[in-house]
């Protein structure tokens, strides 16, 4: 278990793709994601007027009841709450990374997305200052490397002017 020290250090946190929606869309796809990084970071900014949950489908896997689960923690200014969605619950909630609030943001960290020896854990912070704040841990129960992400909402469309940026972090 040797530790690799990079000398010189390796510049990373590389912007891979940014999508700005010119009109509403049911989903956004990041396809053929390169496998040369260790983690992915997805940054989503939400325009005024949109308020929904989010959803992610990995590698076209729609077996929500078996392969997607999450634990969420949220605070709305008066109380905190936590809930778990897994194993045959609401399929949208199972793969919901966190809330998409008006003028809000969502930042999801896909840890070890290119590894093939572990399930994929996703850490997300989300929310909007006028609504609530979220922290979510999600898991895709599959050892496969992530090659495709499809981002959507729990109903309706993603709005025009939403911006989604994907970054790669090497290790």
Partner 1 sequence: MAFSLALLGASTYEVPVALGSYDLLATEILTGTSSSITFASLGTYAADYQHLQVRATLGRSTSGGDMASGKIKLNGSDMTKSHLLRGYNGSVNSYDNTVGKFTYAGTGSTHSGLVIDVLDAFSSDKNTTIRFLGGVAGNSEPFVMLNSAFWDNTSSITSLEINGGGPSFTENSRLSLYGIRKAA
Q: Is the C-alpha dihedral spanning 89, 95, 97, 103 positive or negative?
A: negative
- DSSP, collapsed to helix, strand or coil, labels residue 64 as helix
Least distance (Å) from partner 1 to the CB of residue 87? 8
Closest CB 42 distance from partner 1, rounded Å: 14
Q: How far is the CB of 53 from partner 1 (least distance, A)?
A: 16
Residue placing its CB nearer to partner 1 in the complex, 48 or 116: 116
1 vs 155, which CB is nearer to partner 1? Answer: 1
Complex with partner 1: residue 117 or 155, whichever CB lies closer = 117
- Compare residues 114 and 128 and give the one whose CB is closer to partner 1: 114
Q: Under a CB-based contact definition with an 8 Å cutoff, are residues 113 and 39 in contact? A: yes
> What's the closest the beta carbon of residue 106 comes to partner 1, in angstroms?
14
Instruction: Classify 93 as helix, strand or coil.
Output: helix
Residue 138, C-beta contacts closer than 8 angstroms, at least 6 positions apart = 56, 68, 69, 70, 95, 97, 121, 122, 124
- Using DSSP's 3-state secondary structure scheme, residue 147 falls into coil
Residues at the site binding partner 1, with contacts judged by CB under 8 A? 1-6, 9-17, 19, 21, 25-29, 31-34, 38-39, 69-73, 75, 80-84, 86, 109, 111-112, 115, 117-119, 121-123, 125, 135-139, 141, 143, 150, 158, 168-171
- Least Å distance between CB 101 and partner 1? 18
- For 16, left (φ over 0), alpha (ψ -120 to 50), or beta? alpha
CB neighbours of residue 97 within 10 Å: 26
């Amino acid at each position: 278990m040797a530790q690799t020290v990079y000398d010189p250090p390796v510049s990373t946190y590389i912007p891979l793709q940014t999508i700005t929606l010119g009109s509403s869309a049911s989903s956004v796809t990041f396809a053929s994601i390169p496998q040369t990084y260790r983690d992915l970071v997805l940054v989503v900014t939400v325009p005024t007027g949109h308020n929904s949950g989010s959803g992610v489908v990995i590698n076209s896997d729609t077996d929500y009841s078996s392969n997607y689960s999450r634990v969420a923690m949220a605070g709305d200014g008066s109380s905190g709450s936590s809930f778990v969605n897994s194993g045959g619950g609401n399929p949208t909630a199972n793969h919901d990374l966190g809330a998409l609030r008006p003028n809000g943001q969502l930042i999801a960290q896909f840890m070890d997305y290119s590894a093939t020896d572990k399930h994929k854990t996703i850490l997300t912070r989300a929310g909007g200052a006028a609504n609530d704040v979220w922290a979510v841990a999600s898991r895709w129960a599959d050892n496969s490397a992530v090659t495709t992400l499809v981002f959507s909402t729990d109903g309706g469309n993603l709005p025009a002017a939403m911006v989604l940026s994907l970054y790669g972090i090497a290790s």
